[in-house]
Amino acid sequence: MATDVEAQISGNVWKIELTVGDAVEEEDVILIVESMKMEIPVEAPCAGRISEIRVSEGDSIEEGAILAVID
């Protein structure tokens, strides 16, 4: 069952740490969002494999946006 990785805050995608197909464990950092001059890591909510990354570095994102999908 696929699990969406959602943005918890609005900001800009500063760095993507993983690529599609990478295996992740719960709490692994998938990407980093820059917001209010702070770098905020976005962690995997569960173990699995990255099946989609829906953003690119530099993208502006809103709270609740789907950033990635884990299968």
Tell me the pLDDT tens digit for each residue of 43-53.
999 999 999 99
Query: Quick check: 24 and 18 in contact, CB under 8 A?
Result: yes
* Residue labelled with tokens 């299968």: 71
pLDDT value at residue 1: 83
**pTM of the predicted structure, to 2 decimals:** 0.92
Delineate the domains of the chain, giving CATH numbers in brackets. Answer: 3-70 (2.40.50.100)
The first and second tokens of residue 50, run together, are 């990255």
- In order of 3, 4, 20, 56, 69, the CA distances from 44 in angstroms are 9, 9, 13, 17, 9
Indicate the DSSP class of residue 17.
-
Question: β-pairing, 48-53 with 60-61?
Answer: unpaired
